[in-house]
Amino acid sequence: MSRGTSALSYHERTSHTPEAIRNNSFSLDFENKPIPYKIYENLPSVELSSNIRPSQLPTLRAITGYDADTDSRSDPEFDQHSPSKTRAHPLDRAVLTQLCYLSSGITKTIQRGKREIPFRAAACTGALYHINLYVICGSLPTLASGVYHFDPRTLSLDVLRRGDFRGALSEARSAPLTIVATSTWWRNAWKYRARAYRHAFWDSGTVLANLLATAHALDIPARAALGFDDDRVADVLGIDPAHEGPIALVSVGMDEQVPDTPAIEPIDPDTRPLSEKRVEYELIQEAFSASTLKDENAVRDWQRTRPDSNSGTARGDGWRIDLEPVDDERAAKTPLHWTIRRRGSCRKYTRDPLSFRKVSTILDRAVRGVPLDVRDPSGPSLQFTDCYLLINDVQNVPSGAYHYHPDEGDGTIELLREGSFRREAGHLALDQGLAADAGLCAFFLSDIDAVTDQFGDRGYRLAQFEAALTAGRLYLAAYAHRDLGATGLTFYDEEVTEFFSPRAASQTPMFLWTLGRPA
């Protein structure tokens, strides 16, 4: 597939339609379900800290990385993720424990019959947990330099390499430690088949939203990057991109001098089989391969690219409602670690109205722009996607379809179409009643043609990742309020576009997030 077209081709070929869903004969093979962990055989490991003191910073401050009263949107020079504007914090094993545990650790276990079902810190499609975390670090207090894999079962690090391999990480090379998120394709494709490539970004986005918020709660600078040499990172981790692909890097800590990278000798440690057999979906590999950066020259070209100011859809002149977010003093004070432990994907909503101020505050804190390598710090909050709202029941807001403009004052919502659309909401969400019962549905849409024209096929990763990371923050902001719940849902792609057209005529949906009162 040619550069600039394969991302669109993949997206179109994996889009849901009512006809395809009705005629689908696929059934799950539970005898062949993959295990939800990557388990290395015969590797040494390092235990993480069993006693930690998590930050008490409120969730609604942690997800933004700065005070709500110091709004970066009014100051183009303000960079909320710059180490020069963030106090240094010593990185040690206790801090690393929090970063890993609150991103991908087992936070609760639910008894169902005779089975105990563990759930992780971040939302994941189908609870299949295909996102793995690796740590690449220099010498830290109580942890030697090396390459490690985080094992959530045992709260430990599997030792893959000894030595300082940070130099292989392109832009992230100068950080004391970098966490690499990967996706094991088959673990998600078992249920979702070729759509697992989409889910690699959906689910890494929610995981890394937790990670970034945890770092900010500990007053540590952290930044995500999609610009790296895919094959070189895979070589450092000892993974085969045909089965497990690197998705994103998060650099953590203040920049420092890094020694030369030692020779990257091939490693292929034994791992426990995920299931009896693995089914390959070539479309995943085609989409991933078409979007890789092949060398450091390609990485540098990527890093020099910035989003076009016109990449989003044009604003309209429709009737607007000003949002009314509350300041930090009046906002919910739930600490981040409590929110993450409480969070779960809501399975049933009551049809009770949502507080307009709570909705305003959730949107205000979550949609402030993600700390990403190619993001323009002086640009809009959303640079690769637009957020559309289908409001079913928010106090003092007419039900209808809206376009959210986060950068107009404290945020505005522009009415596209007024009316009661609960039935339509449920239909758009793959005919799932949760969306019909939710008080609000947030759809993130992107102009894939425009993004890939600028960034090549890797631009598709950008659009998916911005949407998912923002949705991950929405999850956290929602669960900071004890009377609210949230969940992500899938959708009929073309019908979502049609519903929000003509405004969204050139766009296609990336992510759907719903908010309501748990039943």
Q: Could you report the per-residue pLDDT of 2-13, keeping only the tens digit for each?
A: 343 489 999 999
How confident is residue 173, by pLDDT bands cut at 50, 70 and 90? confident
Q: Could you report the per-residue pLDDT of 446-471, keeping only the tens digit for each?
A: 999 999 999 999 999 999 999 999 99
Nearest one of 449, 488, 444 to 467, comparing CA atoms: 444
Q: Could you report the per-residue pLDDT of 385-411, keeping only the tens digit for each?
A: 999 999 999 999 999 999 999 999 999
Q: Could you report the per-residue pLDDT of 224-250, keeping only the tens digit for each?
A: 999 999 999 999 999 999 999 999 999
How confident is residue 100, by pLDDT bands cut at 50, 70 and 90? very high
More confident call, 120 vs 313: 120
The span from the CA of 281 to the CA of 513, in Å, is 27
**pLDDT for 311:** 60
Residue 324's Cβ-side half-sphere holds a number of Cα atoms within 13 Å equal to: 10
Q: What are phi and psi of 144, to 5 degrees?
A: -75, 155
Task: Inform me whether the pLDDT recorded for 71 exceeds 60.
Answer: no
Q: Could you report the per-residue pLDDT of 342-394, keeping only the tens digit for each?
A: 998 899 999 999 999 999 999 999 999 999 999 998 999 999 999 999 999 99
Task: Please answer whether residues 197 and 245 qualify as being in contact, where contact means their C-beta atoms are separated by less than 8 angstroms.
Answer: no
| CB contact set of 426 (below 8 Å; sequence gap of 6+) | 432, 433, 434, 435, 436, 437
More confident call, 70 vs 63: 63
The span from the CA of 377 to the CA of 379, in Å, is 6
Domains of the chain listed by start with CATH number:
34-65+93-304 (3.40.109.10), 320-518 (3.40.109.10)
DSSP state of 194: G
The span from the CA of 145 to the CA of 168, in Å, is 14
> What is the percent of the chain with per-residue pLDDT over 70, rounded to a whole number?
93
How confident is residue 329, by pLDDT bands cut at 50, 70 and 90? very high
How confident is residue 308, by pLDDT bands cut at 50, 70 and 90? confident
Distances (CA, A) of 233 to 177, 248, 257, 333, 461: 14, 10, 20, 39, 17
**pLDDT for 89:** 60
- To the nearest 10 degrees (0 to 180), the angle between helices 458-479 and 196-217 is 50
Beta strands (DSSP E) in 328-439 are 349-350, 386-391, 400-405, 412-418
DSSP state of 55: -
Neighbours of 238 (CB within 10 A): 20
Which ranges constitute the DSSP H helices of 413-457?
Answer: 422-428, 433-437, 448-455
Secondary element (H or E) of residue 340: helix 336-342
| Average pLDDT, rounded, for the chain | 92
The span from the CA of 250 to the CA of 226, in Å, is 9
> What is the percent of the chain with per-residue pLDDT over 90, rounded to a whole number?
85
